């Protein structure tokens, strides 16, 4: 599945792109509730975990989803 990450809300809040290590929150298209990465991770590691979660949510038929990085 193709996962597209958007960082607009994060940028508006922090005036910079997400970077470094921290506790990251994401919002998936299928839910208004935030999803938090399991531990303090780099943004790359957190995106990898979010991609795995998106694949789990979509099941075998998923093709594309948009995930927003929350501030």
Q: Structure pTM?
A: 0.91
Neighbour tally for 48: CB within 10 Å: 14
Q: Where are the domains of the chain?
A: 2-70
pLDDT tens digits, residue range 3-25?
Answer: 999 999 999 999 999 999 999 99
Q: What is the structure's pLDDT at 61?
A: 80
Tens digits of residue pLDDT in 46-67: 999 999 999 999 888 889 999 9
Degrees to nearest 5, angle at CA 44 with 71 and 17: 40
Name the one residue in this structure whose structure tokens are 């599945």: 1
């Amino acid at each position: 599945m193709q996962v597209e990450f958007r960082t607009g809300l994060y940028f508006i809040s922090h005036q910079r792109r997400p970077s470094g290590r921290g506790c990251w929150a994401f919002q998936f298209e299928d839910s208004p509730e935030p999803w938090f990465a399991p531990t303090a991770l780099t943004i790359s590691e957190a995106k990898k975990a979010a991609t795995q979660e998106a694949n789990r949510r979509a099941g075998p038929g998923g093709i594309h989803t948009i995930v927003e990085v929350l501030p």
